[in-house]
Amino acid sequence: MPALEAALSALDTLKPADITVVKYTNLTGDILLSSGTVSYLGAFTLDYRIECQKQWHILCQESKIPSSEDFTLSNTLGNQVAIRAWQIAGLPVDSFSTENGIIVFNSRRWPLMIDPQGQANKWIKNMEKANKLAVIKMTDGNYVRILENSIQFGTPVLLENVGEDLDPVLEPVLLKQTFKQQGVEYMKIGENIVEYSKGFLFYMTTGLRNPHYLPEVAVKVCLLNFMITPQGLQDQLLGLVAAKEKPELEDKKNQLILESAANNKQLKEIEDKILQVLSSSEGNILEDETAIKILSSSKILSEEISEKQKIASVTEKEIDNTRMGYRPVAEHSSILFFCISELANIEPMYQYSLSWFINLYLDSIAKSVKSDDVAKRISNISEHFTLSIYNNVCRSLFEKDKLLFSLLLTVGIMQGKGKVDDQVWRFLLTGGIALHNPYPNPAPEWLSDKSWSKIVGASKLPNLKGFFEHVQDNISKWKELYDSGTPHEDQLPDQWNELVGMDRMVVIRCFRPDKLVPAVQDFIVDNMGQAYIEPPPFDLAGSYKDSNCCSPLIFILSPGSDPTAGLLKFADDLQMGGSRTQTISLGQGQGPIAAQMIDKAIKEGTWVVLQNCHLATSWMPTLERICEETITPENTHTSFRLWLTSYPSDKFPISILQNGLKMTNEPPKGIRANLLRSYLSHPISDPAFFDSSKKQVIWQKLLFGLTFFHALVQERRNFGPLGWNIPYEFNESDQRISIRQIQMFLDEYDEVPLEALTYLTGECNYGGRVTDDKDRRLLLSLLSIFYSQESLLILRFSLFQTYVNYIRSLPICADPCVFGLHSNADITKDNQETNQLLDGVLLTLPRQAGGGAKSPQEVVDELAENILCKLPADFDVQMVNDKYPVTYEESMNTVLRQEVIRFNRYLCCYGINYSACQIPALIVNHAIVPQYVHEIYKILFD
């Protein structure tokens, strides 16, 4: 009897608690929803998938199709043993990634995974490593041969770095076009026929962030969105910080995960064994002694494993509670990564890999100040990592985008803490969207209708209720703010002076948008600190120190920037000059020569500089292959470096951008930053050079005057035609040669030859670029201020550091008077900077609805209605024809008829153009699908 009871108990193991009659009843609807998810939703984000599943679930209920109330793809198609194995192989543990894994193995089409962070790549390689996975790229010369062998022998293949087009030779593989001959299954690949093995698996990944596949490509593959989710990244970062801070706990947790996976696998094998016994037993099972013994032993083993699982679960829970103490670090760092990842929407060269991010993260954990207090330790890691990210990213950004990045970091971190009202943030960026303002402008003589509309719109924000009424009643007080030279620093009238943060910036945006940039700087300082509005100066030595032999160093060029001279000087300083640095400018036919240079340099440990990569887009795939396959740690000399220069190009290989170290070498923004860069760069930063002149006092004064003049002529470009009639690209070479001439002339002449220096600097070095005669006269007038006897009486400093400290004490934003311009000269310039900043931030925002009460559809409908209300009614052409017929006596009525038709067309086009100006911004901010825009245009046409 005990054996019989054990056998019956063993049968109970086949009825887990979650498999109930209700689940089988709901199987129809669950499988329907699962099929829809696998077939259609792979390419979409988690939020969109959930919304679609929710709507489909409602349709199932309305159609009386039984389905589970808490439907998830994991519960329906997921195998927990397989999922755990995937996670051990590197699949992120969040639900989104788990669903992706389920879709990969349940879709009838081969998966094409959108994988900019390399998560899917890593998972596939680890999971299929034991199965002799073949990794290929379409740029490989023999990839078709490798594919044929894998098809024949039934081994998996991973096709990496897929572009937006697929090789036609892959079509039979994608469509699984097989045929049988004499009972054997074959597939034709190109001109070759190979035997097709059922064990063959085919995976594809692309590093493109937002690829656009044609329908004929999309229908042949299962598109999957493997972009990392905040939850998945947080879990990874939490594991890393826990492993560094509490290594014993993390090791124990990993051990428990492996044990749990093994136990679950063993339980599954027991269930399979029991089912096999039951299916193979003949007659009465209670009379089969062998079957009874197997069932009895299975029951005992199952109970032992279950007990182990209970103990492991309790231990794992205790470990998780300890790990959770470090979760704020992971959440904070995750926010930083997604701030960085959106920069590629502004400029295609702003690409950063997850591995690069994690390396910085680990570096901050190691270098940040230690503390036994967990809260203090968390704060130290977060502060160190945030500043490290800012400094590392800033060196790869153009000057125009550095403040933008600071703002993104600040707002992203504040949003993570729940300190940002999304409605206020959206209004700050867009100024609201309103076509009709029912309230008359109280001061049209100085307040524009556009500003008044923004003021009325801002009054709908939570902390600005009654704002426009106060402006109406106190117009003189607000005019003082409007007329102020520093409205961002002045007090606001009455109770509105209590506004802080974004609410205060909204007020500045309404009245003085030209001063929004300094207001943003104050906002960043208040929330993040002074360091986040002072980008680090260009540091070639620091960038080299952070590099290694296998990661290229990339100069992102801008007009007027030329890093070659500085790079060659730096090479000389490291004894890498002369023949140890090979330089080539890429262009037609130069690719093979460059490849030979690289092959030779990686063996000898020398440097290669490839200039103007943007001019050799057809050779870029070859360069990408060289970087991935040839420049590897085992093949490359540790002293080797590959330097690349390129203007921004969407054809530049993403993998090189992500794995390389990027730098920009633009003139910094502002007089202060420009002066500081001059003094911290070669040759002035060299103490031997700074103290080398025989007339040291005059030398240092003229040196400071020249650097100030250099900053002045560069910054005047920002004022447009007020600065120069024609914008000129003055660069560091102009300054460098002028400095050398000052040094030489002072040492060779007893008197200071100001006239000769003025001619060389003003007419030759800088003036050689100037083509307009009025600009040349202006240039010489500016130079005469610094190359004069009066200028030799200023700044009686002697030490290099004293000059640097003085420069650091200057204001970040210089008054236009410094440039010899009126104080109002910067209004247009500042307005352009404000628009550039706000437009750039808008490009980085997710295309989803804000926190307002209205849905995106309601916003578009309201906008369309406002547009239509503003349009006058069309002329009745038939009525005009009847009333003013074309006769011999009234031939001009022909013109009238034509003008009526044209006017009606004008009204229609006006409506289209008006909406076309407004709706794209709306699409960016509210994720309006193109169909809504089409409907608006349709209404306008009708």
> What are the pLDDT digits (tens) for 482-514?
999 889 999 999 899 999 999 999 999 999 999
Residue 812, token pair as written in the block: 């970040």
Rounded-to-integer distance, Cα 404 and Cα 350, Å: 13
Rounded-to-integer distance, Cα 316 and Cα 867, Å: 60
Residue 164, token pair as written in the block: 């937006």
Look up tokens 């100030």; give the residue: 708
Rounded-to-integer distance, Cα 288 and Cα 154, Å: 41
Phi-psi region of 529 (alpha: psi -120 to 50; beta: other; left: phi over 0): left
* Amino acid occupying residue 888: Y
pLDDT for the residue 282: 65
Distance of CA 537 to CAs 228, 257, 731, 737, Å?
Answer: 32, 47, 16, 21
CB atoms within 10 A of CB 180: 9
pTM of the predicted model as reported, rounded to 2 decimal places: 0.82
Residue 615, token pair as written in the block: 């001019």
* Amino acid occupying residue 558: S
3-state SS assignment for residue 433: coil
Q: Which backbone phi and psi does 941 adopt, to 5 degrees?
A: -70, -40
pLDDT for the residue 931: 38
- 157: buried, middle or exposed (CB in 10 Å: 19+, 13-18, 0-12)? buried
Q: Collect the ranges in the chain with pLDDT lower than 50.
A: 1-4, 6-11, 13-20, 849-853, 912-942
Look up tokens 């009465």; give the residue: 284
Domains 78-225 and 671-811 share a fold: no
Rounded-to-integer distance, Cα 774 and Cα 772, Å: 6
pLDDT for the residue 424: 92
State which H helix or E strand residue 188 sits in.
strand 184-189
- What CATH code would you report for 78-225? 3.40.50.300
Residues 6 or more apart in contact with residue 839 via CB below 8 angstroms = none
Rounded-to-integer distance, Cα 128 and Cα 116, Å: 20
Q: Are 237 and 195 in contact (CB under 8 A)?
A: no
Residues 6 or more apart in contact with residue 208 via CB below 8 angstroms = 114, 116, 163, 164, 654
- What CATH code would you report for 540-664? 3.40.50.300
Look at strands 178-181 and 184-189 and give their pairing: antiparallel
pLDDT for the residue 846: 67
3-state SS assignment for residue 482: helix
State which H helix or E strand residue 24 sits in.
helix 21-25
Closest CA to 510 of 448, 556, 562: 448
Rounded-to-integer distance, Cα 807 and Cα 707, Å: 11
pLDDT for the residue 32: 93
Residue 522, token pair as written in the block: 């104050």
pLDDT for the residue 411: 95
Residue 438, token pair as written in the block: 């029912």
Residues 6 or more apart in contact with residue 382 via CB below 8 angstroms = 328, 329, 332, 333
Residue boundaries of the structural domains of the chain: 78-225, 237-396, 420-528, 540-664, 671-811, 856-941
Largest pairwise CA distance in the chain: 121
Residues 6 or more apart in contact with residue 848 via CB below 8 angstroms = 47, 926, 927
- Cis, peptide link before residue 487, omega less than 30° from 0: no
Residues 6 or more apart in contact with residue 765 via CB below 8 angstroms = 734, 737, 738, 741
User: Which class would CATH give 671-811?
Assistant: mainly alpha
Q: Are 483 and 516 in contact (CB under 8 A)?
A: no
